[in-house]
Chain A
Amino acid sequence: MGRGLTTGRRSVQDARALRKTFAGGLALDGVDLRIGAGEIHALLGENGSGKSTLIKIVSGYHRPDPGSVVDLGGECLHFGDPASSARLGARFVHQDLGLVETSSILDNLAVVVGFPTRFGTIRRGAARELTRSALRRVELELDPDVLISALSPAQKTGVAVARALLPVDGREARLLVLDEPTARLPEQEVARLLSLVRAVAANGVGVLYVTHRLDEVFDVAETASVLRDGRKVFEGPVASLSRESLLGHLFGSAIEKVNRHDASVSGDVVLDVRSVGSEYLANVSFTVRQGEVVGVAGITGSGRDALCATLFGARPRDTGEVRVGGHVLRAGRPSAAMERGVAFVPAERKIQGAFLGLTARENISIGDLPRFWRLPFLRRKAETAAVAGWFERFDIRPGFGTDRLVSTFSGGNQQKIVFGKWFQRGPAVFLLDEPTQGVDVGAKGELHRCLADAAVNGAAVLMSSSDTDELTTACSRVIVLRNGAVVADLSGDAITPREIARAALGIGLDTGLDIGFGDPTHQPFAHESRTSAQ
């Protein structure tokens, strides 16, 4: 193991001086990344560090700035051309595997390479043999006719990998990029996936392994690269790393932005969560007091993205109790939660949050229509006045657009409209899931201010976010989930990206903290990957 091993090998990917500028700023700043044949190379970095931009350049989706070069197995990649990337042997398996659940393994593979046919009829036997040999490359012994929906999560990922490794235009796969392949896998399935990854590498394919889980890095990777703020801050053999030093690379120096919130809030407990359990949560208990803005952190698959919806009743809750102001909420009943003054802003704004085909006015008043209803009519004037009030308070633009369809507003303004719907009801508890996802920087600050105001006025705010920067700036307390359970409850000065990551990744507190790393930076591009995707 070690550097000598990888440099001695033929390279399958050699990226040099990758730079990419988005409207919001610099996403990648001169990154080199070389991967050898048969090497498993872990790529680490917080959200917004430039990982996804890098992958999207290699896959031919993004065009980097002039001067960047990506050499795939000796040939230069045509930027912005996904076909060129595939031809040169680069293959990608994303978190969303892209398999058709209701089709067989064989059919899923054949979609890519085509069926072997004779006189236009599919040669079933030959197709099965092809499928079996493709599966064997990833050490899977499965019947090609089994439906994808019948497979375990790790097997599904395996099939996706097998499919990715199929030759394109007669060119074999040389580089496999796995983007957080274990994020949605249950713990016991992870080991099976890792052995599959080793098998792929043993066949001489270079693997770029993107993950948030440090255990896997030490388990499977030979080499690791760490990105921070668009720069590569570390590259080297995993054997030379400790968890603590890896954390240092991920987050930089121990000097952090000071949390501006007063941790000594002493209002009444409004939200009381006791031993809540579900498919995604294990015995979660915590309380939120009046005036508190509590953040929820955790990596994908930690239960973070399920917590708010479960408390609100939008997802099933199997055990435990949720109390709001002393009243027990019935599980699975959003309307019951609303009656107790709970507001819920879901992450999927376009499907669950807003009614894109209705006007802003209708969106805001929908949660509080009885207020405007005096037989025989909804009082249009009162309604418009109330909505105009929220437009002004949240600075929703265009300000005269109360009767425009929500789909015509920008993402940030759409989210403000969703906020307006809930603020209109004057809730006692706010549950927010990724409240500023897909929102520009200015609107993000404004939304945070709205929540802080609500807290000052006596509401309890619980907000889950994958954006650590958001949690550190907007929250007075942060609880961290891992494998469905609360593993940390941070407040005051303890709310730093580093502490959050330490808890979310499961790194013990016994190791020393006081190692200095690099210069004090945080993440000015925390939203790079999201805003660019819009």
Chain B
Amino acid sequence: MKRFPRSLGFEKYSGVYLWAAFIAVFSVLSPNLFASMVTVHSVAAGKAVSAILALAIVVPLVCGVYDLSVGANINFTTIVVVKAVAGGLSVPLAIVLGLAVGAGIGVVNGFIVVKLKVNSFITTLGTASIIAALQVIVTDNRQPLPPSLPAWRSLTQTKVFGFQIIVVYLLLIAVVLWWALTHTPFGRYLYAIGGSPEAAKLSGVNVDMYTWLSLIVSGALCGLAGVFYGSIAGPSLSFGASLLLPAFAAVFLGSTQITPGRFNVWGSVLAIYVLATGVKGLQLLTDVQWLDPMFSGVALVAAVAIANGRQRSGEERRRRRRSAERIEPASPVGPTG
């Protein structure tokens, strides 16, 4: 089989090519609706919260920990913050509240994973359900009214070059996380723990602390995303759950991009927008409703299949190379020394 030349970076940037293909095809098929700045702005802002949520799960995933409570977390913080703002809380304090609630959930998750040694998958599956119950206790299952405060809406909806400002927030968060994960010891330690917790511990890495910290970061980001969601879309009792799987799909798909084989920030953001572009284009053409879950599901499974396939073929290449090396020098070393 002919390989794509590495200089084109097909392995690393296939998502970018796919994105370009989507844009080209849909622009031709739907020149009026798809190929407009309105669409660009609406996709960019509409997926910003999803993207922040995806970044939230990247952090613990890097160190091998799943946070399945992000959906419940973002929903809960949205409700709590909206209620507080409606009750008179200022916007800056609302952000602090959102961060605190989200980080608090992260602290609890971390405690259970690190101190009680419960598998993170189980832990966050359980806490997600507990948070959902708390939400019912707080709301009594009645959707709170969106705050009328203008500053609340303008927190995310102020226009910057035609984009809603939430897109800028997303970029800022992505830059900070990219920096933290790839250019600081913190990030190195997280990747090391994800590679082998035992080896990390024996290399002096404080595995427990960093694992815990990763869950707190993830929780805090959810809280922040919750504030943004409340501002841009208003409160809803049930949106969180539907964001969970797309976020995971994007992160796993993202791990095949940019730095293949690693969960990474830009790959995840790229994946969110590639999928969103495809869904948007098809929606404009066909007007069907099932595209979003279909794309997410396919993307999640395909991403993991691709990653596994690459790993296997890499191992096979190395095995062949070693076997070739062994055969070539014809090396029955005699019983010397």
Contacts and interface: CB of A to CB of B under 8 A. Distances in A.
A21 B332 contact: yes
A378 B199 contact: no
Interface residues of B, number: 33
B49 interface: no
Contacts of B202: 312, 314, 334, 344, 346, 352-353
Interface in B140-186: 179, 183-185
Contacts of B195: 355-358
B192 A355 contact: yes
A335 B204 contact: yes
Interface string A314-358: 100000000000000000001100100000101000011111111
A375 B168 CA distance: 24
Interface of A: 21, 23-26, 229, 312, 314, 334-335, 338, 344, 346, 351-358, 362, 365-367, 369-370, 373, 376-378, 405, 407-408, 410, 421, 441, 524-525
24 contacts: A21-B332, A23-B332, A23-B333, A25-B333, A314-B201, A334-B204, A338-B204, A344-B202, A346-B202, A351-B199, A352-B196, A352-B202, A355-B195, A355-B196, A355-B200, A356-B196, A358-B191, A358-B192, A362-B192, A366-B189, A366-B200, A378-B183, A524-B335, A524-B336
Given A25-B334, A524-B337, A421 B185 contact: no
Q: Which secondary structure characterizes the binding site on chain B?
A: helix
Contacts of A353: 199, 202
Given A338-B204, A352-B196, A358-B195, 4 more contacts: A312-B202, A366-B200, A376-B184, A524-B336
B135 to A, nearest CB: 38
A367 B203 contact: yes
B297 interface: no
Contact of B198 (A229, A352, A366): A352
B198 A351 contact: yes
B203 A366 contact: yes
B277 to A, nearest CB: 31
B128 to A, nearest CB: 28
Interface string B301-334: 0000000000000110010001000100001111
A214 B332 CA distance: 34
B12 interface: no
A299 B318 CA distance: 35
Interface in B30-85: none
Nearest to A348: B198
Interface of B: 179, 183-185, 188-189, 191-192, 194-196, 198-206, 261, 314-315, 318, 322, 326, 331-337
B199 A355 contact: yes
A362 B203 CA distance: 12
A373 B335 contact: no
Nearest to B184: A378
Contacts of B196: 351-352, 354-356
Given A355-B199, A369-B188, A525-B335, A377 B205 contact: no
A373 B184 contact: yes
Contacts of A441: 333
Contacts of A407: 315, 318
With a 10 A CB-CB cut-off, give which of B189, B195, B314, B315 has the most chain A CB atoms: B195
A408 B316 CA distance: 11
B294 to A, nearest CB: 31
A376 B191 CA distance: 19
A250 to B, nearest CB: 19
Contacts of A352: 196, 198-199, 202
A377 B178 CA distance: 12
A24 B203 CA distance: 33
B184 A25 contact: no
Contacts of A362: 188, 191-192
Nearest to A445: B337
B176 to A, nearest CB: 11
Contacts of B336: 524
A367 B333 contact: no
A405 to B, nearest CB: 8
B254 to A, nearest CB: 17
Contacts of B322: 410
Contacts of B332: 21, 23, 25
A444 to B, nearest CB: 12
Nearest to A525: B335
Contact of A24 (B201, B206, B333): B333
Contacts of A23: 326, 331-333
Q: Which 10 pairs from chain A and chain B are nearest by CB?
A: A355-B195, A369-B185, A338-B204, A524-B335, A377-B183, A352-B198, A357-B195, A335-B204, A367-B203, A358-B195
A421 B199 CA distance: 12
A378 to B, nearest CB: 6
With a 10 A CB-CB cut-off, give which of A26, A312, A344, A378 has the most chain B CB atoms: A378
Contacts of B199: 351-355
A399 B61 CA distance: 32
Nearest to B196: A355
B318 A408 contact: yes
Nearest to A440: B333
Contacts of B335: 25-26, 229, 524-525
B183 A376 contact: yes
Contacts of A334: 201-202, 204
A524 B332 CA distance: 13
Nearest to B336: A524
A377 B199 CA distance: 24
A288 B192 CA distance: 32
Contacts of B189: 366, 369
Contacts of A366: 188-189, 192, 200, 203, 205
A25 B335 CA distance: 6
A226 B44 CA distance: 76
Nearest to A355: B195
A21 B331 CA distance: 11
Contact of B185 (A229, A314, A373, A410): A373
A338 B206 CA distance: 12
A410 B326 CA distance: 12
Nearest to A29: B335
A384 to B, nearest CB: 14
Contacts of A335: 204, 206
A202 to B, nearest CB: 42
A228 B192 CA distance: 43
Contacts of A421: 203
B186 to A, nearest CB: 9
